[in-house]
Amino acid sequence: MKNFKYLLIMIIVFTISSCSKDTYNDHDYHLERINVISAELPDELIYGRTYEIKVNIELPNSCYFYYNQYDYIYDENTRLIYPIVHVDDDISCNQKITETTFSIPLQVLQKESYIFKFYQGKDSDGKDTFLTFEVPVI
């Protein structure tokens, strides 16, 4: 039985060490926040209802990919939204700009107005700038 354990361990070690990184077709990439160009929100929200907020972003070239990833940060009645893109590094990209739209589900669970701040890049001082909407709740 002891010999079987050692044999099994050797097989597992050999299998793991023989796996090549190349078989996974790895490539270099990084994640980056991307600017929001517009957002569609209702004029008012009804307490208890669920909405889909549509957000438009612009991908600057073919190395940028959006996979429905974003940071959604709560700060009292303010919501900060930062779309995140996957950017391929060290490959050639065409300079075709593409626009894409994604949705954020929103369940209205507060009676105060919502303030939505959509990331629009950094100003000359390096501070985040936002496209801002205040939507009352009825």
Q: What does the pLDDT read at residue 32?
A: 96
> How is the chain split into domains, by residue range?
26-135
- According to the model, what pLDDT value does residue 90 have? 83
Please state, as a whole number, how many other Cβ atoms lie within 10 Å of the Cβ of residue 10. 10
pLDDT at 77: 95
**Predicted local distance difference test score (pLDDT) of residue 6:** 61
- Residue 2 is predicted with a pLDDT of 63
Say what the pLDDT of residue 8 is.
61
Q: What is the pLDDT of residue 12?
A: 64
Residue 104: per-residue pLDDT: 97
> How far is the C-alpha of 69 from the C-alpha of 102, rounded, in Å?
9
**How confident is the model over 61-88, as pLDDT tens digits?**
999 999 999 999 999 999 999 999 999 9
pTM score, whole prediction: 0.78
Q: Which helix or strand (DSSP H or E) is residue 111 part of? A: none
In the predicted model, residues of the chain with pLDDT beneath 50 are: 23
**C-alpha 126 chain-centroid distance:** 21
Gap between the Cα atoms of 23 and 15, Å rounded:
14
Which bin fits 10, alpha (ψ -120 to 50), beta or left (φ > 0)? alpha
Return the pLDDT at 5: 66
